[in-house]
Amino acid sequence: MFTALKAQNKPAFIGYLPYGFPNPDDSLTALKTMVEHGVDAVEIGLPYSDPVMDGPVIQAASQIALDNGERIANVFRAVETVANAGGVPLIMSYWNLIYHYGVERFATDFENAGGAGLITPDLIPDEAGEWIEASDRHGLDRVFLVSPDSTDQRLDIVARNARGFVYAAARMGVTGERSTIDASPQALVERTRKAGAENVCVGIGVSTAEQGRKVGSYADGVIVGSALVHTLLNDDGRTARDSAEGLACLASTTEELAEGIHGARI
């Protein structure tokens, strides 16, 4: 993905949605819609009962998915859907879910479904030996996070052990839409590249086409979550929107973001 996009001088647009939200069937349609309207890779979130990094929008969506009875074994349908639509399927999951499912079992099922890589926000390379071995066996990318307060030593460890890309958190704290993005992500991207990372993607707080264009001018990819999830929620921020309205809003928002991100270097 990155090689092809770099040849076109474009950053990658990575969009996030939790699987099972707003319901199992519409979730698959939503993932496909994102790919059809400009997302290059889809970060499929595994709903979790204690999402320490997630802000209120993603927490609400994840709770709806959990209430729908979604569990890790079902997510591979979503992986297949994204792959068949022509997108790159990623999974974002807290490590506890993968550990209890079985690391080797997960890697096998993920590879068989057409998966590309796993983003683990609460797993550091120092404690990821089992996953590093399994991902090597199954040819899966492993994406670790860095933040503005990461030391140079930490960046070096992450860069040496990550594959695919490094996820650079634009700021400390939970996910969510932000009105502005300061200069700290650009400095973090530069430091992470200096540590040896081939691709660095920025997420957490990117919510508009203008922000995506700004971040895409220096990052290898731009990750958008809450702004996309928000399109499928009612104004109360807790319940799912009417399916047709939500999917139409998701499509238009995805297109707008894609135009900004992919046009960042024009």
For 19, the 3-state DSSP assignment is coil
Work out the average pLDDT over 102-116: 98
Q: What is the mean pLDDT of the chain?
A: 93
CA distance 1 to 130: 26
> What pLDDT, in 10s, does the model give residues 160-188?
999 999 999 986 544 444 445 666 899 99
- Tally the C-alpha atoms within 13 A of residue 210's C-alpha that lie toward its C-beta: 5
Residue 248, domain CATH: 3.20.20.70
Q: How many domains does the chain have?
A: 1
* Burial class (CB within 10 angstroms; exposed 0-12, middle 13-18, buried 19+) of 151: exposed
> What pLDDT, in 10s, does the model give residues 187-235?
999 999 999 999 999 998 899 999 999 999 999 999 999 999 999 998 8
Share of the chain above pLDDT 70, in %: 94
Distances (CA, A) of 31 to 19, 78, 123, 261: 9, 8, 25, 19
Helix (H) or strand (E) holding 66: helix 56-67
**Are the beta carbons of 43 and 232 closer than 8 angstroms?**
no
Report whether pLDDT(132) > 80.
Answer: yes
What is residue 231's predicted lDDT score, i.e. its pLDDT? 95
What is residue 3's predicted lDDT score, i.e. its pLDDT? 97
Task: Quote the pTM value.
Answer: 0.93
What is residue 176's predicted lDDT score, i.e. its pLDDT? 45
Work out the average pLDDT over 5-26: 96
Between residues 94 and 49, the one the model is more confident about: 94
CA distance 112 to 38: 25
> What pLDDT, in 10s, does the model give residues 51-93?
666 778 888 888 888 888 878 889 999 999 999 999 999 999 9
Positions annotated as catalytic residues are: 43, 54
> What pLDDT, in 10s, does the model give residues 145-164?
999 999 999 999 999 999 99
What is residue 52's predicted lDDT score, i.e. its pLDDT? 67
Nearest to 111 by CA among 87, 151, 152, 141: 141
The whole domain housing 234 covers 2-262
